[in-house]
Amino acid sequence: MADALTVFEAFAAGVARTPRAPFLCTEAVTAKAYGLRAGETTWGEAAREVARLGAAYAAAGYGHGHRVGLMLENRPAFLFHWLALNALGASVVPISAEMRAAELEYLVGHSETALAVVLPGRGRDLAAAAKAVGSPMVVHALDEAELARTGAADDARAAPAFTAPAMPAPFGERRVGASTECALLYTSGTTGRPKGCILTNDYFLAAGRWYAMLDGACEVRPDAERICTPLPLNHVNAMAFSTMVVLVAGGCLVQLDRFHPQTWLESVRLSRATIVHYLGVMPALLLAAPPSPAERDHRVRWAFGAGVDRRLHAPFEERFGFPLVEAWAMTETGAAACIMANRGDRHVGTSCIGAPEAFVDVRIVDDGGADVADGMPGELLVRSSGPDPRRHFFSGYLKDAQATEEAWKGGWFHTGDVVRRGAGGVLHFVDRKKNVIRRSGENISAVEVESVLNQHPLVKTSAVAATPDAVRGDEVLACVVTREPIPEAERAQVAASLVEHALARLAYHKAPGWVAFVDTLPLTLSQKIQRGELRALARTLPGEAHCIDTRAMKRRRAA
């Protein structure tokens, strides 16, 4: 496996080693949600489906130098298309199905995607986005039959016909290898639009190899684990960690459509999952359910995640019978600077993310860049140890060399996260320094939401910040200055209009859950929003008469 230079080569090695073993498990809840056949797909069956798609892409002229957008949710089709394209040297751009017009227009225009392969019914949305930004991107909407293919017991129908656009300029070297771009993942912008992280094959392989070599509380048994995750494949956790460890170490991936609190445990039990992935909101929702004898009727050995409420960490482990092992990483770092509490005392209930390993150098600094004393909070700076500080990190932000170099100022990657070092060198997560709202594991850029709200005809200006939420961690709160005063009796109606405006243009989780009508915003002398003052204000506004609760409007919607 160490000889693999691409994601596809890692997959091919697994196929050669265990062709008849299960590679993908589509459990009943996910199968019903997606209209798929429940059951397992072997490595060999998956390889045949990947080869079928690869032949179609190759015949249409796709290869190194192309980016292909994939709006395929958490379906097996996403993995098959990714692997087929990777074998040809093409890069994929995962596109969340939650995205709406403004988000799609930005992504399509910025990424210069040549082709978008999308869900039935979303082709028109992507075509409209391409037209709005003047992109020549070709859109191919899969039909229901094509989308329902799982690789298991599928017939040998001809591959779908793709239309090849004009060949764009190549990214660089034409030979496909470790340094070839594998994916372009967008991470929330903290001072503007989301940034496109360029990720190579080497980045993904390093993540899978790091995961496969875990020890302590997190041993991974070769060709034996069944790894279950509800996290979206357009995020780094599912794409670079749970998927890649299966490609590197073998075993079976149980990719859920999303997290369903009422059925998650049943899905875990019936899929015979041995390792599960979580985000902080999940343990809280599972603990809120009435106790059941079935809670320990599972094969889970440990869970990989981040952000569990420190007050719920120990109660969850006691009730469900497996450890929640906290870790820290970013899209930009991948596994190159991943820190995990898998060894020794995990310091349950203290937001401990473990001690850094030898392959990563760490500094904790104050606002002036000076190292802080142990026990004091400061910004976490990281880099790879050895001669290449950027080894296995992201390759940079697409079309933003200045932001890339700013992030690497002084030869250290500035994470924007605040931690403190405790006894024995373990790190404890404290807070986020960046202007990002963290709602149910989703990073939300305040600036992105503000740009949409400011387009509403009644809005003069707006400012968005996080406010605490007992279930979601953070909720989006928008302070709005309207062009004309809004009578108290009409505030709820206007707030609903603002949220509807946002829901039509943004993923539902980004829309405001609270709308506060204010006369002025906290501004600096240069008329910039005082983010620190705004965050403090946002914590106090819910419950005030001029702050309208719109959380009930935030629901997933059909396209």
* pLDDT tens string 195-238: 999 999 999 999 999 999 999 999 999 999 999 999 999 999 99
Tell me, yes or no, whether 433 lies in a domain: no
β-partners of residue 185 are: 197
Q: What is the mean pLDDT of the chain?
A: 92
Tell me the C-alpha distance between 170 and 172, whole Å.
6
| Percent of the chain topping pLDDT 70 | 94
Would strands 195-200 and 396-397 be described as parallel, antiparallel, or unpaired? Answer: antiparallel
Q: Which of 205, 115, 206, 203 is nearest to 163 (CA)?
A: 115
Q: Which domain holds residue 336?
A: 7-419
Lowest mean pLDDT, pick from 99-113, 248-262, 422-436: 422-436
Residues in Cβ contact with 184 at an 8 Å cutoff, skipping those fewer than 6 apart: 67, 91, 92, 93, 111, 196, 197, 198, 199, 398
What are the respective helix, strand and coil percentages of the chain, to the nearest 5?
35, 25, 40
Model's pTM, two decimal places? Answer: 0.89
Q: What is the pLDDT of residue 167?
A: 54
Would strands 252-255 and 181-187 be described as parallel, antiparallel, or unpaired? Answer: unpaired
Q: Do 397 and 492 have their domain in common?
A: no
Q: Do 414 and 503 have their domain in common?
A: no
Q: What is the pLDDT of residue 60?
A: 86
Per-position DSSP letters for 389-414, written without gaps between them: TTTTS--EETT-HHHHHHHTGGGSEE
Residue 69 scores a pLDDT above 60: yes
Q: Do 191 and 281 have their domain in common?
A: yes
Tell me, yes or no, whether 429 lies in a domain: no
Q: Do 396 and 470 have their domain in common?
A: no
* pLDDT tens string 315-345: 999 999 999 999 999 999 999 999 999 999 9
User: Into how many domains does the chain fold?
Assistant: 2
Q: Do 33 and 146 have their domain in common?
A: yes
Q: Do 222 and 103 have their domain in common?
A: yes
Looking at 404, 419, 434, the residue that finishes a domain is 419
Q: Do 259 and 362 have their domain in common?
A: yes
Beta strands across the sheet bearing 252-255: 39-42, 22-26, 252-255, 226-229, 275-279, 302-306, 324-328, 339-340
Average of per-residue pLDDT across 38-53 = 96
CATH number at residue 460: 3.30.300.30
Tell me, yes or no, whether 77 lies in a domain: yes
Tell me, yes or no, whether 398 lies in a domain: yes
Q: Do 105 and 242 have their domain in common?
A: yes
> Is the CB of residue 278 less than 8 Å from the CB of residue 229?
no
Q: Do 400 and 457 have their domain in common?
A: no
Q: Do 365 and 312 have their domain in common?
A: yes
Tell me the C-alpha distance between 244 and 7, whole Å.
8
* pLDDT-derived band at 190, boundaries 50, 70, 90: very low
Q: What is the pLDDT of residue 166?
A: 46
Q: What is the pLDDT of residue 312?
A: 93
* pLDDT-derived band at 188, boundaries 50, 70, 90: low
Alpha helices for 298-353 (secondary structure H): 310-320
Q: Do 248 and 349 have their domain in common?
A: yes
CATH number at residue 295: 3.40.50.12780
Average of per-residue pLDDT across 356-360 = 97
The alpha carbons of the chain give a radius of gyration, in whole angstroms, of 23
Q: What is the pLDDT of residue 170?
A: 52
Q: Do 522 and 415 have their domain in common?
A: no
Tell me, yes or no, whether 215 lies in a domain: yes
> Is the CB of residue 114 less than 8 Å from the CB of residue 168?
yes
- Phi, psi torsion values for 19, nearest 5 degrees: -65, -30
Residues in Cβ contact with 41 at an 8 Å cutoff, skipping those fewer than 6 apart: 22, 23, 24, 25, 26, 49, 76, 150, 151, 152
Tell me, yes or no, whether 435 lies in a domain: no
β-partners of residue 466 are: 476
Looking at 419, 454, 469, the residue that finishes a domain is 419
> Is the CB of residue 102 less than 8 Å from the CB of residue 129?
no
Looking at 385, 419, 453, the residue that finishes a domain is 419
Q: What is the pLDDT of residue 526?
A: 62
Tell me, yes or no, whether 2 lies in a domain: no
Residue 189 scores a pLDDT above 70: no
Tell me, yes or no, whether 424 lies in a domain: no
* Residue 438, helix vs strand vs coil: strand
* pLDDT-derived band at 163, boundaries 50, 70, 90: very low
